[in-house]
Amino acid sequence: MKFILSKSIFIILILIALFGFLNSPVALLLGFLFTLIFSNPFINQSQKAIHLLLKIAVVGLGFGMVLKETLRTSKDGFGLTFYSIILTVSLGLILTKILKLDKKLGHLVTSGTSICGGSAIAAISPVIKADGKTISLALGIVFLLNAIALFIFPAVGHVLNLSQHQFGLWCAIAIHDTSSVVGAAMGYGNEALRIATTVKLSRTLWIIPLSIFSMFLFKTKGEKVRIPYFILLFILAIIINSYNVLPTIITTNIVLISKRLLVVTLFLVGSTISITDLKEIGSRPILLAISLWIFISIFSLLYICY
């Protein structure tokens, strides 16, 4: 009976999110609270849906952007992206040794923090031949910090009186996972959302050079580098919108649906965060992740403001 009830409530909450009655932080929190009370009845399907829905939502957001502005935003964010990745990866390698962490776990946490959270971890894991336990621990840490960031960053942005342009850049650099980046920026404003999405996806492309670097670092051979092809669809959506291929009413509705799909995605993310998994992480990996997060947050904020 409880299992049927949990299924019903789970589906109802997804529908509530889909019809626009929840914002990003509330959706994430509801997902987490639901799992605490009932446990996710569709855990495997949720994990698969997160990756698919996030890609669909991001591509859909491209229909609300213009090519010229997107290129300018990508150019503006290039220097900050480059410096932040180089410095964060370097610091991660040093702290992994100081904290005497497992080298592969430390590298996955560093990769997720420096580029794009779960996507980076998923791409780097096969390259360094990480086992399932190591991958799970790294993902658990990243998801925990993403959940915290979704609540903290908008509040800090308002306290510091950051413009939408500044906040969008800061989100894209300092928040790990794309879902939380877009979720945080979406509540701050449309310009912040556009900038955060563009810079974050540009940042995602750095998975390729990081994968190659990881091959040399761990002396692995013959592993394929995963290329995030959905970014090409995102660019195509921007081009279609820029040249008015589709009527405005269609592109507007695509963007609206994409924002709601993102809220659903964040609910699913919250529903997959397990207290049991988080307890298994230990203090040193969390210390590494928090140290890197604080560094990249402060560094990027100072870079943007000054």
Among 26-35, 109-118, 159-168, 226-235, the minimum mean pLDDT is found in: 226-235
Residue 132's pLDDT is what? 80
Question: Looking at per-residue confidence, does 133 or 168 come out higher?
Answer: 168
Asked if residue 292 has pLDDT above 80, the reply is yes
**Burial letters for 138-166: b for 16+ Cβ neighbours within 10 Å, e otherwise?**
bbbbbbbbbbebbeebbebbeeeebebbb
How many Å apart are CA 202 and CA 115, to the nearest integer?
10
Residue 2's pLDDT is what? 74
Asked if residue 258 has pLDDT above 70, the reply is yes
Q: Which of 207, 149, 160, 155 is nearest to 182 (CA)?
A: 149
Q: Which two tokens stand for residue 239?
A: 């081009």
How many Å apart are CA 28 and CA 252, to the nearest integer?
25
Residue 222's pLDDT is what? 63
How many Å apart are CA 130 and CA 263, to the nearest integer?
31
Residue 184's pLDDT is what? 93
Residue 140's pLDDT is what? 84
Residue 253's pLDDT is what? 96
Average of per-residue pLDDT across 231-249: 92
Q: Which two tokens stand for residue 34?
A: 């639901």
| HSE-up (13 A, CA, CB side) for residue 302 | 8
Q: Which of 165, 166, 251, 238 is nearest to 201 (CA)?
A: 238
Asked if residue 144 has pLDDT above 90, the reply is no
Measured in whole angstroms, the distance separating CA 115 from the mean position of its chain's CA atoms is 9
Average of per-residue pLDDT across 248-270: 93
Residue 219's pLDDT is what? 81
Residue 3's pLDDT is what? 79
Asked if residue 279 has pLDDT above 80, the reply is no
Specify the 3-state DSSP secondary structure of 23: coil
Asked if residue 41 has pLDDT above 70, the reply is yes
Average of per-residue pLDDT across 34-47: 90
Q: Which of 77, 57, 66 is nearest to 233 (CA)?
A: 57
Q: Band of the pLDDT at 223, cuts 50, 70, 90?
A: low
In sequence order, what are the residues at sequence separation of 6 or more whose Cβ sits closer than 8 angstroms to the Cβ of residue 109? 92, 138, 141, 142, 285, 288, 289, 292
* Average pLDDT along the chain: 90
